[in-house]
């Protein structure tokens, strides 16, 4: 699909409609009647997010970005209820260009908060898949635990993720990943990895 604007260069797609889509699709989506029980489908999405976790642990950012739709959002809310990002600051709220900036910064060699780099192991569990009103959109909930070693010890980042997957011609791609740290509204030490 040809996009009017290259999302790596400009940010036209972050508009009121997108913000409203985020607020709507991440409210009240884990409903029992929408839960997908089919084990093959659940296995497919589990495998996708496990692969995503491995790519991040391995710092394979280009392969990781390829799992995302051209126009995507990486959203780490700063409040447990994850309200409206138009009115709230998030811990992180990246469109494609900002995420590519983030990766660029980490690769400069001058990002002191990641020099040396963290070593991470991500554990994914409790994977659930939910339908939406579109057959080409699925929501996936998972729990995660990141063990992160850097400099003076190992610490843990714990939370749950909401992935919004959209089906394009050949694959399911991530349109939104919402990362909900259990301590998102507390003072965090060096949150400089891609969570």
Least separation in angstroms between residue 46's CB and other proteins is 29
Q: Binders of other proteins among 151-190, rule CB under 8 A?
A: 152, 185-190
Least separation in angstroms between residue 17's CB and other proteins is 10
* Nearest CB to other proteins, comparing residues 96 and 141: 96
Question: How many C-beta atoms surround the C-beta of residue 77 within 10 A?
Answer: 22
**Quick check: 36 and 138 in contact, CB under 8 A?**
yes
Least separation in angstroms between residue 153's CB and other proteins is 10
Q: How far, CA to CA in Å, does 34 sit from each of 19, 28, 30, 43?
A: 23, 11, 7, 17
Q: Which stretch binds other proteins (CB under 8 A): 5-13, 23-31, 138-146, 166-174?
A: 5-13
Q: Is 13 in the site for other proteins (CB under 8 A)?
A: yes
Q: Which residue has the tokens 């780490």?
A: 76
**Quick check: 175 and 166 in contact, CB under 8 A?**
yes
* CA–CA distance, 139 with 175 (Å, rounded to integer): 10
Here the tokens at position 136 are: 């080409």
Q: Is 42 in the site for other proteins (CB under 8 A)?
A: no
* CA–CA distance, 173 with 189 (Å, rounded to integer): 31
Q: Is 5 in the site for other proteins (CB under 8 A)?
A: yes
The number of residues that bind other proteins (CB under 8 A) is 46
* CA–CA distance, 29 with 75 (Å, rounded to integer): 16
Q: Is 111 in the site for other proteins (CB under 8 A)?
A: yes
* CA–CA distance, 70 with 84 (Å, rounded to integer): 23
Least separation in angstroms between residue 62's CB and other proteins is 16
Q: Binders of other proteins among 82-101, rule CB under 8 A?
A: 85-95, 97-98, 101
Question: What are the residues binding other proteins (CB under 8 A)?
Answer: 5, 9-16, 19, 73, 78-79, 85-95, 97-98, 101-102, 104-105, 108-113, 115, 152, 185-192
């Amino acid at each position: 699909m040809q996009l009017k604007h290259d999302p790596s260069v400009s940010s036209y797609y972050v508009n009121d409609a997108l913000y409203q889509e985020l607020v709507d699709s991440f409210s009240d989506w884990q409903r029992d009647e929408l839960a997908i029980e089919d084990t093959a489908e659940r296995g497919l999405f589990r495998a996708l997010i496990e692969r995503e976790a491995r790519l991040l642990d391995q710092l394979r950012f280009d392969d990781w970005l390829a799992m995302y739709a051209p126009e995507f959002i990486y959203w780490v809310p700063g409040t447990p209820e994850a309200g409206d990002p138009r009115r709230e600051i998030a811990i992180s709220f990246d469109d494609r260009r900002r995420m590519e900036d983030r990766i660029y910064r980490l690769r400069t060699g001058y990002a002191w908060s990641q020099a040396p780099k963290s070593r991470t192991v991500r554990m994914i569990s409790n994977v659930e898949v939910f339908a939406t009103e579109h057959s080409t959109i699925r929501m996936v909930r998972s729990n995660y635990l990141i063990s992160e070693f850097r400099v003076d010890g190992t610490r843990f980042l714990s939370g749950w993720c909401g992935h919004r997957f959209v089906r394009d011609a050949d694959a399911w791609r991530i349109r939104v990943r919402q990362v909900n740290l259990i301590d998102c509204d507390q003072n965090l030490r060096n949150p400089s990895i891609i969570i």
